[in-house]
Structure 1
Amino acid sequence: MTTTIPGSLVNKTKKHFMGMSAPAGYVAGVGRGATGFTTRSDIGPGVDLPADPGMAGAAAAGATPAKKPKDDDNDEPEDLNDANYDEFEGYGGSLFAKDPYDKDDQEADEIYHAVDMRQDERRRDYRERKYKEAVENYRKERPKIQQQFSDLRRQLATVKEEEWASIPEVGDSRNRAKRNPRMETFTPVPDSVIASAMGYGQMNTVMDSSIQNGISTPYSGFQSSLGGGFQSTFGGFQSILNPGLVTPGWKTGTGTSSDLDLRKIGQAKNRIMDIRLNQVSDSVSGQTVVDPKGYLTDLQSMIPQFGADMQDIKKGRMLLKSLRETNPEKPQGWVASARLEEASGKLQAARNLIMEGLERIDKSEDLWLEAIRLHPPNVGKNIVANSVRALPHSVKIWLKAADLEIDVKGKRKVLRRALESNPSSVRLWKAAIDLEDPEDARMLLSRAVECCPLSTELWLALAKLETYENAQKVLNKARENIPTERMIWIAAARLEETRGQAKRVPILIERALISLRSAQVEINRKQWLEDAVECEAANCPLTSRAIIQNVIAIGVEDEDRKHTWMEDAEWFITQHAIQSARAVYSYILNIFSKKKSIWTRAAFFEREFGSVENYEEILKKATENCPDAENLWLMQAKSRWQGGDVEGARQILAQAFRHNPNSEEIWMAAVKLESENEEFDRARKLLERARNSAPSPRFWMKSARLEWCLNDLVRAKELLNEGIKLYPNFEKFYMIFGQIYTQEGNFDEARKFYIEGTKRNVHCIPLWLLLVRLEEFRGRHIKARSELDIAKTKNPKCDELWLEGVRIEMRAGQRELAQSMLARALQECEHSGRLWAEAIFIELRHARKTKIVDALKKCEHDPHVLLAGSKLIWAERKYKKAREWFMRTVKVEPDFGDAWAYFYKFEQIHGTQEQKDEVKKRCLQAEPRHGELWQAASKDVKNWRKRTGELLEIIAVKLEIPT
């Protein structure tokens, strides 16, 4: 029996199971959960055997059993950590997380969510307001850098590129020595060294002060120095013993002194150069003459002006060379080649190319002209001589030949030779005639019209130089030769007008249209109207008028006549043809004599461009044709009154009464006329007649105001009471009543009438404002705010009420509250120019520019915003720009009196007397009636008889300079 000794007894490091066969069904690593895998070196995939009872037994015997895989439906285990535990609520998480989530659970969650949102909304406004206030306070205390420099940042748009480049970099002041090391510097050689070098090699007998030991001998061509060696140089003999004796020597040569004045040498050279240039410039032989004045200019012209790359130039040369070789008979290739060489700075090469082209193509006009242009004048004349022999009928070459001549005599000679070869050339005839005096020009023109009978310009030029009788004959011959030319007929009409034959002018224009139509010529309406403008510019208004009367109706449909003709009148005004525009209005009024709008437009035209007589004449015709037009009667009466004819104005108004007995405007104009002329009794009688014959609340109001202005307050109150009984809803009765009681100091009665007026006229904003201002004047700010809130409730989105509320807070010193109210007002009335104008100046100075930009985006053409912008620019002392803004404001809204007052104030301080007078004149023409400051002054009882100019002065005095 064989005995086997275990390996572990022989070698302690060797395990006892090493070398033994594996048990049945054993898979290595299964007990610890390992599975098979595949690598690149494997032939096939690893085997992952499923677990079987044998493997399970092996696993149970040898290792820890593998964990069971989790089911997909099982959730994560609960977190029972202490960090997830609360003493009151216990562990976090849902108790029913494992239960199914059905519709009831979803409905319950939605209800709980709705309750949470409702609880959150209860205090949301308060929280947001508090948060907004906190943010605003924080921003005021610590504004952002972009807000602090917003005004400066907008000015960066005007910074030029050079200014940007001059701004230093951030690191320019740091480490400058390291970043910019000092370069090696070179010192110029002193003049003494240069002078000594110039004297080197000359024989000299002056002893050098630097030689203290040795002797100097003047032997020519040999120099020796003993002091450690022997040297010899050409230029003299010198021996130096160191140490040794010093013996004085002597000097001979061209120089007599060792001191040289270099400045004098430079001046001498410049003088010699000037003498030589003068000598050469006086020479006339050959081509070596130099013009010293144009020398630098010639040099500049030789600099290549072609900015392309040299490779591109080479490619261009090759392409053009190929073009010349393939098509040598086409002049375009030769011209392009020459111009390429000229642009690249090779002028001689360009000349050579163009001359080579002429050898091949001597009948090309373009080549000859290019050759003449490239060569200097003296050579160009020879080329011209050859060109006219080759092309004697080329007009361009003959004109170029005339241009090359310096004196007029030579030009005449060339042009007359040209006319011999080209007698039918209009250009040559015109060039020759331009060189002659009037008498010789007339003779040339006589010959020219024979050679060129179809040239209208020559016929008209000849007619201008002839006498009246001969001009008629010339124009008749011109019509025979050119029966289709309208300018000949117009010239004939102008000729008759200049001779005072006014009756023949319209006859000629009528005959012209008949003749042209018979010659099958189309009558172009636009061309004829342009001819009318030219006739007026030539001081022939009768011809212009005749053209308009005969042409204006051509090609216009009946339904478009009024619109088209009014546009024609406006077009003539833009062309500064006032007489033509007047002729258009005259023609229109003959066709539409009963149209009030056309009479009104014509009257405005005469008021702006005509005289006072023309203005009153057309108004007289207007009232005769349209007697029921109240505005025309009023314009005529006002013109007479402004001219000082009060009696004439009364007569006109009396005629207006007969045609319009119940017209309020005419009654009011009559009352104003009498009151302005201090005829108060007549004014009272007129008002009494008006109240009886044409009852209207305005007559009662005007009567009460007249008594109020005359300080008869008792009579004024009586009239107001009578008016209220008849017209209880007329708001101005209550306004005047309140103002009268305020003037007397009876504030309670004033408040009573204001309240009564607001009850009957809820939407009358001036009444609400008077009530609020009365309460504020009495010191009852709370009551004023209350009344204002009521007014805003009954009149939503009213910018005037919001503006008054903001100003109340500002006058009370509540700036922050005013800003908050203004913000809400802009949200409600975002397109209100009044509110935006107030918002600009309520801001601090650094934030105003941002606000004006926002305002212009919302209200670009609002006069209040434009006026605020003008004041803002004025405050920045940009006077030129401020003047432009003021002009823009009054142009947008001429009826805005506040803008005129500020503009006049600006010119009083920063303008000249002429500029100030111009503003006042334009204001008088505009006659503004609106504006907060303007109405406050014009409605004041103290200024009830003040005119526009006086009101302008009164308001301007009270205005403050914007800051």
Structure 2
Amino acid sequence: MTREDTLPTRPMPKAPVQKIDFNSLKAPSGYIPGLGRGAAGFTTRSDIGPARGAGPGDKPGAPGKTPGKDDDEAAMDDTKFDEFLGNDAGLFAQGEYDEEDKEADNVWESVDNFMDDRRKEQRERRLKETLEQFRRNNPKITEQFADLKRKLSEVSESEWEAIPDIGDYTIKKPRRIEAFTPVPDSILSGAATSATGGPLTSVSSSDGTLSSLPGMASGIASALPSDLTAIGSGRGTVLGLKLDRMADSVSGQTVVDVKGYLTDLKSVHVSSDAEISDIKRTRQVLRSVIQSNPTHAPGWIAVARLEEVAGNPSDAKQLALRGCELCPANEDIWLEAARLHDAETARALLARGVSHLPVSVKLWLAAAKLESDADARSRVLRKALERIPTSVVLWKAAVDLGTGDEDAKVLLSRAVECCPQAVELWLALARLETYDAAKKVLNRARRALPLDRSIWVTAARLEETNGATAAKVALIIQKAVKTLVDATAAAGGGGGGGGGGTTETAVRDAWLAEAEQCAAAKPPMPLTCHAIVRAVHRYGIDDEDVLDSLSADAEEYLKRGAVEVARALYVCALDLFPSDAALWRAAAALEKIHGSAVQLIAILDRAVTHCPESEVLWLMLAKERWVAGDVTEARRVLEAAFAHHRGSESVWLAAFKLEFETGEQERARGVMAKARADALATVYPKVWLKSAIVERELAGPTAASLKALLEEGLKKFPTAEKLHLMLAQLEEARALVRFAGKAGGMRKDR
């Protein structure tokens, strides 16, 4: 057989068959093109005509336009609606916009702008009042609790600690997620088989095998629900057998806690792969650190905290203990080991720590904090003070644990001997002593700390508390400032004692801060505050900048709520610039808001004495006298104002208002008569207007004197609108009277 015989043979090609031209065939009856693919029932443009309207050369019967009807529809087209012209906009659509149209539009636009400007001020004022009313009715949460937030500064540390925890008092009840496990089909089929008379099986508790129970099929249908309960118990037995096999699968050792299996699952913290990989890398790095440098305490602390975060507290404890053995001279590793262990072990660790580091304040404080009894804490702190008598922190902790003022005095007396540079200990001892003993304590403190300003300020406050005069308090503060400035200058700088900057401005700011603390103290110390401000108000300020600096500082302290400091700054500024009316008005505004009526009247009395040319100050004083109920004194003030401001419209009108609103219309008429007789005051239209008002009140709305007064006023002020209106009202009232008289006569004739 040759190779050609083994090759597959290709079938012979068939003769070509002529294709059928379906387009030339006749469509069957009822055939609709495109109906099978859903392309039937649409309309094309050729069915409804062209999209454009007929042009000028088109015939009236051109497709797409119906004469008359289409024109009406175009006229009513909503898209051509104009806000000003309405649907008639099409009437002028063919017109041209020329310069006359542009000029007319500009004129109307200017008219609109003018009318808008006339109402702009009223509209803005109305909007502002609405906004303020809304803010008053709907204040922010921060504004509602602003006063309570400021009072938080008065809460002591013991009160903070006494605030109880609120716990979990959520209103919504937590959703209970109930999980239902479907019964397997095998159990259901077995139960059905048992119910129909099949063999009933039971689970062996020894090996978990199934065995049939013959003779138990009869009457099983009536006991089916109890059998299903038994089946559920069987499932629990099977699960227990599987857990037993898992427990004994590793060389006979138990690797799974059967009883706590589910509990352990709940406590497992599932970390992401990224966290696990980060922990592993960090563990490798820290292990290399403690291996290369085993005496590096921060490395041991870091690796112990890493194991704690990773959920290995036992490893963390072991590493911390190992760090304590290798780094016994580091207090942080001892504190870390004590934190990781329980209280008893922590006490033992801290005892070992203080044996290696007897001067470590942190270890002694931690050991005292572990004690639950106050006496035990006091014993630990006293033992610590025997080792470290110069520790201010330990002395403070021991004083805080004292049972009374006497114990605190004893401890502080010893504390200031051991720590003479601790100013807070000196001040605490002075606060506990009597007046004479406190003076001695402060003198000793001043000798020990000659450059500390707080000791001098405490001495001044002590004198003020015990009823000293303002002069004595000021003398102490002046001596303090002079002593500290001279000592600082001799030392070549230093900032005025006890802190502060190295410049004079920093020294001044530090003293003003002391004044602010005196004003905010409980109870406040205004004499000391004023004395400090008066002693340093010009310190470090150029002469040409004194007024601006004092005014700016007063405004700043007023914004911060330090009213007494701002008042003291204004007093100092007024002593330097008594003829500045704006400064007097600012001081009066402060007293009006934060002071009493007596203080306000007192400062206004001084103001008009130094600035008699300021009519505003006279008017303010007269008003405050009137508001206080002293009308006679208010008249006296206005009489004094007339002497300095003869012919002043404001003073005349204020005098009229005082008399008119207090019910003295005759006196008000007399005041206005004097004003009209005054050549300087008769040039004011309001003088004639107020005269007409009081005349109408006294003589009546139709009096001849009122008409004469109005006509005389209109001769002087022909453009006074209100005078014209009052005259028109008078004539209208007279006309009504005449008409009423005529009507009465006609009725009488009838």
In the superposition, the TM-score normalised over structure 1's length comes to 0.47
Match of 1:441 among 408, 412, 419: 408
Distance (whole Å) between structure 1 residues aligned to residue 526 and residue 217 of structure 2: 113
1:662 aligns with 2:647: yes
Match of 2:342 among 365, 370, 376: 376
1:635 aligns with 2:623: no
Name the residue aligned to 2:665.
680
Match of 1:509 among 462, 474, 477: 477
Instruction: Quickly say closer, same or farther: Cα 1:484–1:307, change in 2 above 3 A.
Output: farther
Distance (whole Å) between structure 1 residues aligned to residue 273 and residue 691 of structure 2: 85
Structure 1 counterpart of 2:429, one-letter code: L
Name the residue aligned to 1:696.
683
Distance (whole Å) between structure 1 residues aligned to residue 273 and residue 533 of structure 2: 56
Distance (whole Å) between structure 1 residues aligned to residue 619 and residue 674 of structure 2: 19
Aligned residues of 1:334 and 1:354 also touching (Cα < 8 A):
yes
Distance (whole Å) between structure 1 residues aligned to residue 386 and residue 96 of structure 2: 106
- Of 483-492 and 324-333, the range deviating more from structure 2: 324-333
Aligned residues of 2:701 and 2:730 also touching (Cα < 8 A):
no
Runs (5+) with no aligned partner, structure 2: 1-54, 60-92, 106-178, 200-209, 220-225, 234-262, 489-493, 497-506, 737-750
Name the residue aligned to 1:724.
714
Aligned residues of 2:195 and 2:217 also touching (Cα < 8 A):
no
Structure 2 counterpart of 1:518, one-letter code: D
Task: State the SS of the aligned residue for 1:560.
Answer: helix
1:740 deviates by 5.3
Larger-gyration structure (1/2): 1
Name the residue aligned to 1:408.
374
Once the two structures are superposed, the pairs formed by residues 292-691 of structure 1 within 5 Å of their partners are 309-436=275-402, 437-502=404-469, 503-520=471-488, 521-523=494-496, 524-538=507-521, 539-691=524-676
1:453 deviates by 0.8
1:261 deviates by 12
Distance (whole Å) between structure 1 residues aligned to residue 266 and residue 542 of structure 2: 65
Structure 1 counterpart of 2:97, one-letter code: E
Aligned residues of 2:701 and 2:733 also touching (Cα < 8 A):
no
1:395 deviates by 0.7
Aligned residues of 1:704 and 1:715 also touching (Cα < 8 A):
no
Structure 2 counterpart of 1:526, one-letter code: D
Name the residue aligned to 2:65.
none
Q: What are the superposed Cα offsets for residues 789-835 of structure 1, whole Å, 9 maximum, x if unpaired?
A: xxxxxxxxxxxxxxxxxxxxxxxxxxxxxxxxxxxxxxxxxxxxxxx
RMSD over aligned Cα, in angstroms?
4.1
Aligned residues of 1:484 and 1:516 also touching (Cα < 8 A):
yes
1:349 deviates by 1.6
Distance (whole Å) between structure 1 residues aligned to residue 690 and residue 683 of structure 2: 10
Structure 1 counterpart of 2:485, one-letter code: R
1:444 deviates by 0.9
Task: State the SS of the aligned residue for 2:603.
Answer: helix
1:233 deviates by 6.6
Aligned residues of 1:653 and 1:666 also touching (Cα < 8 A):
yes
1:712 aligns with 2:695: no
1:532 deviates by 1.0
Task: State the SS of the aligned residue for 2:97.
Answer: helix
- Of 685-694 and 426-435, the range deviating more from structure 2: 685-694
Distance (whole Å) between structure 2 residues aligned to residue 239 and residue 301 of structure 1: 47
Task: State the SS of the aligned residue for 1:569.
Answer: helix
Distance (whole Å) between structure 1 residues aligned to residue 301 and residue 596 of structure 2: 63
Distance (whole Å) between structure 2 residues aligned to residue 306 and residue 407 of structure 1: 45
Q: What are the superposed Cα offsets for residues 52-85 of structure 1, whole Å, 9 maximum, x if unpaired?
A: xxxxxxxxxxxxxxxxxxxxxxxxxxxxxxxx99
Equivalent pairs counted in the alignment come to 500
Instruction: Quickly say closer, same or farther: Cα 1:303–1:392, change in 2 above 3 A.
Output: farther
1:121 deviates by 2.1
1:725 deviates by 2.2
Distance (whole Å) between structure 2 residues aligned to residue 305 and residue 489 of structure 1: 61
Structure 2 counterpart of 1:659, one-letter code: H
Structure 1 counterpart of 2:520, one-letter code: A
Distance (whole Å) between structure 1 residues aligned to residue 271 and residue 372 of structure 2: 29
Structure 2 counterpart of 1:662, one-letter code: G
Distance (whole Å) between structure 1 residues aligned to residue 272 and residue 405 of structure 2: 47
Once the two structures are superposed, the pairs formed by residues 85-234 of structure 1 within 5 Å of their partners are 120-122=96-98
Aligned residues of 1:213 and 1:240 also touching (Cα < 8 A):
no
Aligned residues of 1:304 and 1:345 also touching (Cα < 8 A):
no
Distance (whole Å) between structure 1 residues aligned to residue 382 and residue 655 of structure 2: 79
Distance (whole Å) between structure 1 residues aligned to residue 217 and residue 545 of structure 2: 122
Structure 1 counterpart of 2:518, one-letter code: C
1:588 deviates by 1.7
Distance (whole Å) between structure 2 residues aligned to residue 533 and residue 581 of structure 1: 9
- Of 298-307 and 735-744, the range deviating more from structure 2: 298-307
Task: State the SS of the aligned residue for 1:519.
Answer: helix
Task: State the SS of the aligned residue for 2:578.
Answer: coil
Q: What are the superposed Cα offsets for residues 486-525 of structure 1, whole Å, 9 maximum, x if unpaired?
A: 0011111111111212242111111111211222142311
Task: State the SS of the aligned residue for 2:601.
Answer: helix
Q: What are the superposed Cα offsets for residues 689-727 of structure 1, whole Å, 9 maximum, x if unpaired?
A: 111212223312221233345533443443232223223
Aligned residues of 1:306 and 1:343 also touching (Cα < 8 A):
no
Aligned residues of 1:306 and 1:344 also touching (Cα < 8 A):
no
Instruction: Quickly say closer, same or farther: Cα 1:300–1:528, change in 2 above 3 A.
Output: farther
1:125 deviates by 7.3
Runs (5+) with no aligned partner, structure 1: 1-83, 89-116, 130-183, 198-208, 215-231, 247-257, 266-295, 747-963
Task: State the SS of the aligned residue for 2:96.
Answer: helix
Task: State the SS of the aligned residue for 1:309.
Answer: helix
Distance (whole Å) between structure 1 residues aligned to residue 273 and residue 694 of structure 2: 84
1:603 deviates by 1.7
Distance (whole Å) between structure 2 residues aligned to residue 644 and residue 515 of structure 1: 50
1:392 deviates by 0.9
1:302 deviates by 9.0
Structure 1 counterpart of 2:511, one-letter code: W
Instruction: Quickly say closer, same or farther: Cα 1:543–1:302, change in 2 above 3 A.
Output: farther
Instruction: Quickly say closer, same or farther: Cα 1:387–1:732, change in 2 above 3 A.
Output: same
Instruction: Quickly say closer, same or farther: Cα 1:445–1:688, change in 2 above 3 A.
Output: same
Aligned residues of 1:578 and 1:609 also touching (Cα < 8 A):
yes
Distance (whole Å) between structure 2 residues aligned to residue 259 and residue 636 of structure 1: 103
Instruction: Quickly say closer, same or farther: Cα 1:123–1:629, change in 2 above 3 A.
Output: closer
Distance (whole Å) between structure 2 residues aligned to residue 671 and residue 354 of structure 1: 90
Distance (whole Å) between structure 1 residues aligned to residue 300 and residue 478 of structure 2: 57
Task: State the SS of the aligned residue for 1:644.
Answer: coil
Larger RCO of the pair (alpha carbons < 8 Å, separation 6+): 1
Structure 1 counterpart of 2:659, one-letter code: E
In the superposition, the TM-score normalised over structure 2's length comes to 0.60
1:592 deviates by 1.3
1:212 deviates by 11
Task: State the SS of the aligned residue for 1:594.
Answer: coil
1:405 deviates by 0.9
Structure 1 counterpart of 2:607, one-letter code: A
Instruction: Quickly say closer, same or farther: Cα 1:568–1:393, change in 2 above 3 A.
Output: same
Distance (whole Å) between structure 2 residues aligned to residue 511 and residue 299 of structure 1: 76
